[in-house]
Copies of this chain bind each other. A is one copy, B any other.
Amino acid sequence: MASNHESLVDFLSISTPMIESPTKPNKTTELHHVAGKKRVIIEHISPAVEGGLYPAKRVVGEKVEVEADVFSDGHDVVKAVLLYKFASDKHMKQIPMEFAGNDHWKASFIPDKKGFYEYTVLGYVDHFITWRDGLKKKFEANQNVSVELLIGAEMLENTAQHAQGEDAHLLREWARKLREDHEHSMASGVTLALEKEVSRVMYDNYDRSNATTYPNVYKVEVERKKALYSTWYELFPRSTSPEPGRHGTFRDTIRLLPHIKEMGFDVLYLPPIHPIGRTFRKGLNNALTANPGDPGSPWAIGSEEGGHKAIHRELGTLKDFQDLIWIAGEQGIEIAMDIAYQCSPDHPYVKEHPQWFKWRPDGTVQYAENPPKKYQDILPINFETEDWENLWKELKSVLDYWVEKGIRIFRVDNPHTKAFGFWEWAIGEVRKNEPDVIFLAEAFTRPRIMERLAKIGFNQSYTYFTWRNNPWELKQYMLELTKSPMRDYYRPNFWPNTPDILPPVLTHGGEAAYIMRLVLAATLSSNYGLYGPVYEYNINTPYPGKEENLDSEKYEIKHWDWDKETRTKEILIMINQIRKENPALHNTWNLHFADVENPQMIVYGKNDEASGNIILVAVNMDPYHTQGSWVRLPLKELGIDSYRSYVAYDMLSKSRYTWYGEWNYIELNPYQIPAHVFRIEQ
């Protein structure tokens, strides 16, 4: 029968005859089938974000565990090898993968510098080990293995031909012995064949010309550690004045830095610091019309004084802002800046680049709306403008400008209302020049959208944590974040409150709820943050019918007594200190849940392999009643020896418990303290 291919090699060189495929490798790369003798199949390599379209995310020192299905036809022994390198390195390093059952293999490496690493998997049929294992079985069954020893000798000799130095010498020597033993002593030959050293030298020199190398190379982006472990505090700098009635300034904020440091925060996030628009300015409590003197919302960006590269005059000068960045840095605190790509009607863009907005037939500019609601103080940018290329460049220049001024963390406001393509490009470009820059996506929206933003480059993301209020739903959500494919690209940042969100649990649950949500956020996620001092002062009166604070700081200037002491602040300081001292809390992925009989409680552990640090957290999620439960701890997962007693030291109450085995009873009274945070001492 006629074939449409001129030759087999034609077929092989196009990988598969049937489909123009997304995963079809370039013709220039090595293929599964480039030679008919390649028998090993490699499938399902992970991590692989969107099939490899985007890199997985890790930080320096964080393990990259690579997994794959690797198998061959027939019964021969198969081996799998992880190949990886720093992107700009020339050669791949090799790590033998471990068999994990059901044709699945695993190996890991720990990246030690920032940037992109590449990895793929190689698989081959190991005829030597196949022979060695068969030899052992035959010998144990009292079969004559004389010919088998000759087969082994041949293999060693063949391998010696491309081995070098000592290895080549050893292989030839062993082959000679096998040939001798084949005539005189089968037992001695078998003993030699089974020696580990023989297998090692054969592994090192094995001819892998029939090996399959997976045709695609995947990438992981390795970032600085702060991308994974950070402790955020949000405040409005205009509310930092020590004198009531005066607009707060950057200088005032600088004076607060020791306090913020004392509370244990290492990121200070400021709402937008740009000039605030006057047209359609919102009044107190989001009133449609402002009274004279109302300061407006910082998110209504832009006035005659300038736009996204300008500073609101009453906050201070650029110099003041840079001093704040600098002095904060001296105290171990980074300033996170708000990027909100939207304009007040007074923003200079409206006059300078009218083509970036939509215009209505009556000659007015289109404001934001969610019909029938109107948000006339805000103009959305039209990402479908014909002038998109200049628009993208200008918006990126805002990021470049502030990076140049010393900013390394951006909290991006509503990134899901701007084009995905823009973010992918802008974040990639900014981080290419300054890989320390961290982008936090403030997208409280649908799952696919939040996930996509993380895939295309956002380094941290807000989450649904704020609305997960019972142990079952919180556990499910944590499993989704830490055990689903999201683990490889979506880095959570947990916020119990924000200026936009006062969740009902805080409104109704009082201080017990504040402490409970704080402990959960700070111990479940290694990135977490609070909007204060509203949080530590338990200010929880909602605007009627809304899950937002009454008299919101978004629309007015507050005067705070920064020295006020509360139970929440006391715990907050302890928790941040505990986070600092316990490396197990510098990671989000090392989470293991306990089985808890009482559905009002949640118990989980985290461990840090390198330091041996083990943390166990028990939280009563009912802020109203004492709850107790028998709890089955995940001892094995946490690396706790279940055959010896161990001490659980509660770092909040400073009390010690001696426990034995998996089952223990835990009781928590929310009016005393709704949580234990134990360090396990073995």
Spell out A's residues near B (CB within 8 Å).
1-5, 7-9, 11-12, 16-25, 32-33, 35-39, 41, 43, 48, 50-55, 69, 71, 73-75, 102-103, 116, 125, 133-135, 137-138, 140-141, 143, 147, 150-151, 154, 210, 215-219, 221, 360-362, 364, 369-372, 380, 383-386, 388-389, 392-393, 400, 403-404, 416-422, 424-425, 428-430, 432-433, 446-449, 452
Knowing A8-B389, A23-B51, the reply to whether A71 touches B446 (Cβ < 8 A) is: yes
The residue of chain B having its C-beta at the shortest distance from the C-beta of A362 within the complex is B147
What is the CB-to-nearest-CB distance from A102 to chain B, in angstroms, rounded to a whole number?
A: 7
Q: How far apart are the CA atoms of A372 and B210 in the complex, in Å? A: 27
The residue of chain B having its C-beta at the shortest distance from the C-beta of A425 within the complex is B11
Question: Chain B residues with Cβ under 8 A from A133's Cβ?
Answer: 371
B53 near A372 with CB under 8 A, answer: no
A21 near B216 with CB under 8 A, answer: yes
The residue of chain B having its C-beta at the shortest distance from the C-beta of A416 within the complex is B73
B383 near A37 with CB under 8 A, answer: yes
Question: Chain B residues with Cβ under 8 A from A20's Cβ?
Answer: 217, 219
- Told that A8-B425, A19-B52, A37-B419 touch, could you supply 10 new A-B pairs with CB distance under 8 A? A3-B432, A22-B48, A22-B218, A23-B52, A36-B383, A41-B452, A71-B448, A74-B417, A138-B371, A151-B360
Q: How far apart are the CA atoms of A23 and B218 in the complex, in Å? A: 11
What is the CB-to-nearest-CB distance from A386 to chain B, in angstroms, rounded to a whole number?
A: 8
Knowing A18-B116, A137-B372, A422-B36, the reply to whether A1 touches B400 (Cβ < 8 A) is: yes
Question: Chain B residues with Cβ under 8 A from A219's Cβ?
Answer: 18-20
The residue of chain B having its C-beta at the shortest distance from the C-beta of A179 within the complex is B361
A428 near B18 with CB under 8 A, answer: yes
A446 near B102 with CB under 8 A, answer: yes
B361 near A147 with CB under 8 A, answer: yes
A432 CB contact (under 8 Å) in B4, B218, B446: B4
B36 near A389 with CB under 8 A, answer: yes
A53 near B21 with CB under 8 A, answer: yes
What is the CB-to-nearest-CB distance from A276 to chain B, in angstroms, rounded to a whole number?
A: 24
Question: Chain B residues with Cβ under 8 A from A449's Cβ?
Answer: 71, 73, 103
A18 CB contact (under 8 Å) in B21, B55, B71: B55
Question: Chain B residues with Cβ under 8 A from A12's Cβ?
Answer: 421, 425
20 contacts between A and B (CB under 8 A): A1-B429, A1-B430, A8-B425, A9-B389, A11-B425, A12-B421, A17-B428, A17-B432, A18-B219, A21-B51, A22-B218, A36-B383, A37-B384, A39-B419, A43-B448, A69-B448, A134-B369, A140-B372, A143-B372, A151-B361
Knowing A73-B418, A73-B419, the reply to whether A371 touches B54 (Cβ < 8 A) is: no
The residue of chain B having its C-beta at the shortest distance from the C-beta of A372 within the complex is B141
Question: Chain B residues with Cβ under 8 A from A154's Cβ?
Answer: 361
Question: Chain B residues with Cβ under 8 A from A433's Cβ?
Answer: 1-3
B384 near A39 with CB under 8 A, answer: yes
What is the CB-to-nearest-CB distance from A320 to chain B, in angstroms, rounded to a whole number?
A: 24
Question: Chain B residues with Cβ under 8 A from A69's Cβ?
Answer: 448
B53 near A24 with CB under 8 A, answer: yes
**7 tightest Cβ-Cβ pairs between the two chains A and B:** A22-B216, A141-B372, A134-B371, A36-B388, A150-B361, A137-B371, A103-B448
Q: How far apart are the CA atoms of A384 and B210 in the complex, in Å? A: 8
Question: Chain B residues with Cβ under 8 A from A386's Cβ?
Answer: 37
A18 near B221 with CB under 8 A, answer: yes
Q: How far apart are the CA atoms of A432 and B417 in the complex, in Å? A: 49
Q: How far apart are the CA atoms of A4 and B425 in the complex, in Å? A: 12
B25 near A22 with CB under 8 A, answer: yes
Question: Chain B residues with Cβ under 8 A from A418's Cβ?
Answer: 73-74
B420 near A41 with CB under 8 A, answer: yes
B369 near A17 with CB under 8 A, answer: no
The residue of chain B having its C-beta at the shortest distance from the C-beta of A37 within the complex is B384
Question: Chain B residues with Cβ under 8 A from A448's Cβ?
Answer: 43, 69, 71, 102-103
B22 near A22 with CB under 8 A, answer: yes
What is the CB-to-nearest-CB distance from A309 to chain B, in angstroms, rounded to a whole number?
A: 14
Question: Chain B residues with Cβ under 8 A from A25's Cβ?
Answer: 22
A73 near B383 with CB under 8 A, answer: yes
Q: How far apart are the CA atoms of A23 and B48 in the complex, in Å? A: 11
What is the CB-to-nearest-CB distance from A427 to chain B, in angstroms, rounded to a whole number?
A: 10
Question: Chain B residues with Cβ under 8 A from A43's Cβ?
Answer: 50, 448, 452
The interface centre, meaning the residue of A73, A74, A75 with most chain B CB atoms within 10 A of its CB, is A73
Question: Chain B residues with Cβ under 8 A from A417's Cβ?
Answer: 73-75
The residue of chain B having its C-beta at the shortest distance from the C-beta of A11 within the complex is B425
Question: Chain B residues with Cβ under 8 A from A384's Cβ?
Answer: 37, 39, 125, 210
Question: Chain B residues with Cβ under 8 A from A135's Cβ?
Answer: 371
B73 near A22 with CB under 8 A, answer: no
What is the CB-to-nearest-CB distance from A34 to chain B, in angstroms, rounded to a whole number?
A: 10
A392 near B8 with CB under 8 A, answer: yes
The residue of chain B having its C-beta at the shortest distance from the C-beta of A390 within the complex is B8
Q: How far apart are the CA atoms of A442 and B573 in the complex, in Å? A: 65
What is the CB-to-nearest-CB distance from A632 to chain B, in angstroms, rounded to a whole number?
A: 25
B73 near A392 with CB under 8 A, answer: no
The residue of chain B having its C-beta at the shortest distance from the C-beta of A430 within the complex is B1
Question: Chain B residues with Cβ under 8 A from A18's Cβ?
Answer: 54-55, 116, 219, 221, 428
A215 near B425 with CB under 8 A, answer: no
What is the CB-to-nearest-CB distance from A205 to chain B, in angstroms, rounded to a whole number?
A: 19
What is the CB-to-nearest-CB distance from A230 to chain B, in angstroms, rounded to a whole number?
A: 23
The residue of chain B having its C-beta at the shortest distance from the C-beta of A7 within the complex is B389
Q: How far apart are the CA atoms of A416 and B51 in the complex, in Å? A: 27
What is the CB-to-nearest-CB distance from A567 to chain B, in angstroms, rounded to a whole number?
A: 40
What is the CB-to-nearest-CB distance from A468 to chain B, in angstroms, rounded to a whole number?
A: 18
